Each structure stands twice: as structure tokens, then as C-alpha cells.
Structure 1
Amino acid sequence: MKFSELGLSKELLTATERANYSNPYPIQIQAIPALIKGRDLLGIAPTGSGKTAAYILPILQFLQKNPGTKHRAVPVLVLVPTRELAAQVAEVADNFSRFLSRKVKTLAVYGGVSINPQMQKLIGTDILVATPGRLLDLLSQNALQLNQVEILVLDEMDKVLNMGFREEIDQILAELPKKRQNILFSATMEETLEEMIASLLNEPIKVSVEPETIDADLIEQYAYRISAERKGPFLRYLVNSGDWTQILIFVSSIRTADNVVTKLNKNGIDAIAFHGDKSQGARTEALAKFKSGKTRILVATDLAGRGIDIKFLPLVINYELPRSPKDYVHRIGRTGRAGATGEAISLITEEDLHHFKIIQKKMGKHVQLRSTDEMEF
């Protein structure tokens, strides 16, 4: 099926072509026609499934028939759990709206940065993409109104609730008009969602996409047994021993991310940290440098790393193991995509051995553990 068969306007079809969207993803085929008709929608879809375009394209089409606003009442509200996702959604909306006859203003608001510039930019906003906490901050200062919202999107709702934002969501919902279109996306269908879905959605269209399966055969996995004190030198030896154009290194904490980057930089290896203590501007810049190849190595925590989506990434290094086997699979799945081969290397200390065995068992694949005792670095 092609985008031209989904009921989108010529201007939006031009935008999809210019963005090199050749064929729609399954979630887009299922969701776009229903959303254009104004139906409520429940989507079970993981990150990377194309869900953002699945709701942004129908929203942009709706806004072409909407006269817009010159004040602080927004017609479309998108709630997301993280700053990274807010920025990504706003970027998608901006890219697809470039060829529209009526200009659409999208604004992403989130914590961690000054609230005043966000308040000043709110006037005339068509699509407001917000994290719950910052949205409530803006409401408390009477910086915007939600009584004219016509479309509400709750994106990655399972993550929103897992982060403890249920009370904030209820406060926000109380500010909205009862008559509106509701769109809810979640990667998983959890019990905490069921009550909200029942009260929020009106005869919704239900669409689902299976999580992307990782082809382990496309990922060469290696594991090295290493003492904690030799980890840093061995990491530097690794990154200097190959010709990988990009290397994504995962660590378990913000402090470790900064320490690893400092040590790499001191030894003449270009690297940059990517984690939640960085400002949004710093994270955006870091990711842009890494994607463009200006910075070869990105050191990320798991939470921040969920916003990293790069095709043909050649190498992932687990400097520290994640807490769950699921997160391990998610990490190494950053490589070996789109039919390309990739490599994943894990550094295993004595304390990690039992946990690494559990990860292999859950993954259903044995990874040979190599000794570093005889290696000089």
C-alpha cells in the first residue's frame, strides 16, 4: 500500500515523498484513515514502529481545516514522558508541515530548561507537545488554556504511568473539554492502563504492531572477562583496535557516563555523554554530532538512549550490563538493523558473571566469554 491510498492531502503526500517515506508502516496503514475520520484510537506499538507519523499526519490534515488561534488556547495537545520524545515529535510535525498552505506552529515544552521562553512562544501554537510536569507548571501560571483542545494524544502512555505521572495526567484531563478526539499509544498493555482506556476512549479503533524482532544472527556478540580496574584501559584499547565509524557505549549511571567520557577525551579519543542531567540543547547537539559522524563515540544511559535511532550503527559496547535481559536485547538491537550486520561487545566483571548467564538464558543465545588476562593494553 502507498501513502496516496490513505486519504492524505496532496501537500502531505509531497511532504512524505520529500522525507523519503516510500511506503507506510503497518501502524500507519491501520491508524491514518481512522484518525482522519475523527475516530478515537488505541495503539499498541513500540518505539520505532512509525507511530509518530501515524498520528501527526492526520493531525496536520485536520489543522488545515482549522482557522488556528492567535491566543493561548491550543487545539492539539500531545503528552509524552520525556524531553527527547517531545523534541522528536515536534521535529516530525515541523518536517511534515513544510508544504502546507496554512502554516502550522508546533511547540515542545519540557522541564530542565527555563520556562519563560516557552511561555513567550505559546501564543498561536497549534500543536503543543508537552511533558506532564512542565505542562502543569505552565497551567499554574495561566500561560495557556486547554479548554479548546480538539485532539488529545497520549504517547508512550505506559512509560508515562511507570514514571509516576498518573496524578498529573488526571489533573490535565480535568482541564480538557469533554468532546474531543483521543489517541493513546503504548508499547505494552498494562493493567494500569485499562481503567484509563475505559474512561478516556470512546469506541476506539484498536491497532497493534508487534515489537521489532532482533535478528541475533545479524549481530556478532562478544564478551570479555575483565577486572573493574582494567575496564577503562581495555575500553580505550577496544575503540582504538577497530575502524568502526560510530560506537555507542551503554553505562548504568550518569556519573559513569561522565567519567568514561572524561577518560576517553583525556586519552585523545573523541567522545560525548548523553544522559538525563544534560540540558535538552546539549543532548540535541550531542545526538546530532553522533549521527552526522562529527563525534565517533556516544556514551549513554539506558533512559536517555531510548531516543537514539540510527540505522547501520556498527558497534554497541556494554561497558556495564543493564538491569534486565530485556534492556540488554534493546541495547544490542541498536545495531544489526535494516539487514546490516553489527557487533555488540560486553565487558564482564566477576560480579557480572551470574547476571550475564541469566541474560544469555533469557535471550536464548550463548555468548562465548573471552579472557583478557594475557592481553596487553
Structure 2
Amino acid sequence: MSFTSLGLSTALLEALVNQNFTVPTPIQQTAIPAILNKKDVLGIAKTGSGKTAGYVLPILMNLQETAGVKNRHANVLVLVPTRELAEQVKDVFKTFSKALTVPIKTLAVYGGVSINPQMMALQGVNVLVATPGRLLELVESNAVHLSTIETLVLDEADKMLNLGFKEEVNRIISLLPKKRQNILFSATLSDDLQHIHQILLHDPVVIKIEVEEDSLDLINQIAYIVTDEKKGPFLRHLINHHEMKQVLVFASSVHQVDAIVNKLRKNNIDAKAVHSKKSQGARTEALSHFKSGKLRVLVATDLMARGIDINFLPFVINYELPRSPKDYIHRIGRTGRADTPGEAISMVSPNELPHFEVIQKKMGKKVKTTYPV
């Protein structure tokens, strides 16, 4: 199947070619026609499945029908759990909207930065991408009115609810017009998500993309049994021994991320931290430098992982194991993309071994586990 059969305009098809999109992913094949037809959609698919373009393209097409009509408030609301994802979604909208004859204005709003510039930028916005907390602040300040929303998208809804945004999401939904199109994307279908799904969606087109058994085959996994006090020196050994030029390191807390970065810098290894306590400017700069190859080591918490999409990332290191097996798969899935092999290295302390057994069982793969030489 090609994009030409999905009902997209010639301008968007040309934009897809310019962005090196050749064949629609499975979720795009079903989502694009359904959204073009103003259907509600429930999509269950892992990160990296092409869901963002799967809703951005048809939404832009539908907006062209009314884009000439002057409207003081947004027509489309996209709710996301993190600032990084908000910026990422905004960029996709902006990239494809450049191809359109009628301009579409997209704005991303989120906390951690001054609210005043966001208020000033809201005039004439067609697509508003927002984190729940900041959106409610803007509503309470009368800077945003949600009465004109025609399409609501909940992107990474599972992560949003896991992070405790359920009450805020419910408040936002109560402010929206009853008649609207609803699009919900998630990596999993949890109980909380099932509840939201039942409230939101009317006769939805359901798209469930199963994770293929061999989807991790391009990732060479190895685990080293290392005591907590030796993890720092062993991490530096791995980076230097393998001459890693670009490596993403995961830790479980903000405190641990900062401690790892400080130790790496003291040992002349260029590293930066990305976590919720960093300013938006610092996070954006660190991600940009890492993606472009200017930064050797990026150390992150799981919360930040959603904004890190690099096609050719060679190494991922788990300094600590995540609590959830799904988060483990999401972490190592940052490498082994675009048909390019990658290395996923985990440092497992002796007391983490039973949990690592659970992760392997859930993943359906046995990982080679050894001691450092």
C-alpha cells in the first residue's frame, strides 16, 4: 500500500516524499482514512509506530476545509503528557503544514516556562498542543476557550494517566463541546484508559498493532551483574572501552541522573542530564546536541524517554532497571531502529536479578547475563 491510496492531497503527498516517507505504517494505513472521514479512533501501538503522522496528516487535510474561516480560538486540541512530546508533535504539524496553500498555525503550550508569551501567541491558533496542567492554567486565565474544539487527540494517553493527569484530563473533557471527533492513541490499554475510552469514543475505529515477536531482534542485549557501588566506574569503562560516541543512559531518579552526569564530567566524559527538574531551555538544548551528535552521553529518566527518537542511536545503557518491563522495552527500543543494529547494555545489581528475570519473561527473550571481566 502507498500513501497515494489513503486520500491525502497532492501537496501532502509531495511533503511526504520530501520527508522520505515512502510506505505508510500499519497504523497509518487505517488511521488516516478513518480520521479523514471524521470517525473516532482508538489506536493501540507502541512508540515509533508512526502514529503522530497518522493523525497529523488527516487533521491538516480536514482543517483545510475551514481554514479560510477566521476563528479566534483553536479547532484542534492535542493533549500530551510531556513538554518534549508537545514540541515533537508541534514540529510534525509545522513540517507538513508548510506544504499547504492555506496556512495552519500550531502552538505548543506546557509548564516550566513563562505563561505570558504563550498567552500572547494564542491568537489565531488552529492546532493547540498542550500538557493538561498548563492548558487548565490558560483556561483559568481566560486566555483559552475550548468551545470551538472540533477534534480532540489524546496522544500517549497511557503515559498521561500513569503520570496522574486523570483528574485534569476529565476536567478538560468537561469543557469541550459534546459534538466533536475524538482520537486516542496509547501504547497499552489499561483499566484507566478503558474508562476514558468509554467516556470519550463513539463507535470508534479500533486499530491495534501487535508488537511483533522479532521486533527486538536488531538489538543485541547483554546484562552485567554489578554491585551498586561499582556501577559508576563500570559505566565509564564501558563508554571508553567501546569508544562510544553517542550513548543514552537511563536511571530511575532525578538525583541519580545528576550524580551520574557529575561523575562522568569529572572523568572528562561529555555528558548532560535530561529530567523534569531541568528548565525547558536546558532540556531542549541537551536533546538537540545529543541528536546532532555534538553530545557524547545523555542521561535521562523514563519520563524524558518519550521525546528521544533517533534513527541511528548505537548504544543504550540501563544504569538501573526500570520498575516496569514495558519501560525496559521502551528504553532499549531507542536503539535498533531503521534496520540498523544497536547495543542495549544493562547493569544489574545482585538484588535486581529476580526483577530482571520478570522483565525477560515479559519480553519473551533471554538476555545473556555475565560478570564484568
TM-score range, shorter chain: over 0.9
Q: Retained in 2: the 8 A contact 1:31–1:54?
A: yes
- For 1:15 and 1:329, locate their aligned partners in 2 and report how far apart those are by CA, in whole Å: 32
- Aligned residue for 1:267? 267
Report Cα offsets for 1:65-91 as digits up to 9, x if no partner.
213566641111111122121111101
- For 1:158 and 1:219, locate their aligned partners in 2 and report how far apart those are by CA, in whole Å: 25
Q: Secondary structure at the match of 2:16?
A: helix
- Aligned residue for 1:221? 221
- Aligned residue for 1:9? 9
Change (3 A) 1:99 1:192: same
One-letter amino acid matched to 1:316: V
Q: Secondary structure at the match of 1:142?
A: coil
> Is 2:297 aligned against 1:297?
yes
Q: Retained in 2: the 8 A contact 1:72–1:144?
A: no
Q: Retained in 1: the 8 A contact 2:67–2:103?
A: no
- Aligned residue for 2:21? 21
Which runs of 5 or more residues in structure 1 are unaligned?
none
- For 2:131 and 2:137, locate their aligned partners in 1 and report how far apart those are by CA, in whole Å: 10
Q: Secondary structure at the match of 2:307?
A: coil
Q: Retained in 1: the 8 A contact 2:56–2:93?
A: yes
Which runs of 5 or more residues in structure 2 are unaligned?
none
- For 1:234 and 1:76, locate their aligned partners in 2 and report how far apart those are by CA, in whole Å: 48
- Aligned residue for 2:248? 248
- For 1:318 and 1:350, locate their aligned partners in 2 and report how far apart those are by CA, in whole Å: 15
> Is 2:82 aligned against 1:82?
yes
Change (3 A) 1:263 1:58: same
- For 1:68 and 1:138, locate their aligned partners in 2 and report how far apart those are by CA, in whole Å: 26
After superposition, residues 53-68 of structure 1 pair within 5 angstroms as 53-67=53-67
TM-score normalized with structure 2 length: 0.93
- Aligned residue for 1:134? 134
- For 1:302 and 1:320, locate their aligned partners in 2 and report how far apart those are by CA, in whole Å: 11
Change (3 A) 1:230 1:167: closer
Change (3 A) 1:355 1:191: closer
- Aligned residue for 1:148? 148
Q: Secondary structure at the match of 1:306?
A: helix
Change (3 A) 1:351 1:124: same
CA offset at residue 201 of structure 1? Answer: 2.1
Kindly tell me the number of residue pairs found equivalent between the two proteins.
373
CA offset at residue 162 of structure 1? Answer: 2.2
Q: Retained in 2: the 8 A contact 1:3–1:13?
A: yes
Q: Retained in 1: the 8 A contact 2:35–2:41?
A: yes
One-letter amino acid matched to 1:348: V
Change (3 A) 1:105 1:217: closer
Report which of the two structures shows the higher radius of gyration computed on alpha carbons: 1
Report Cα offsets for 1:250-272 as digits up to 9, x if no partner.
11111111111111112111111
Report Cα offsets for 1:180-236 as digits up to 9, x if no partner.
222122222223233433332222222221236554543332232333322222211
- For 2:364 and 2:109, locate their aligned partners in 1 and report how far apart those are by CA, in whole Å: 42
One-letter amino acid matched to 1:309: D
One-letter amino acid matched to 1:262: N
One-letter amino acid matched to 1:100: L
TM-score normalized with structure 1 length: 0.92
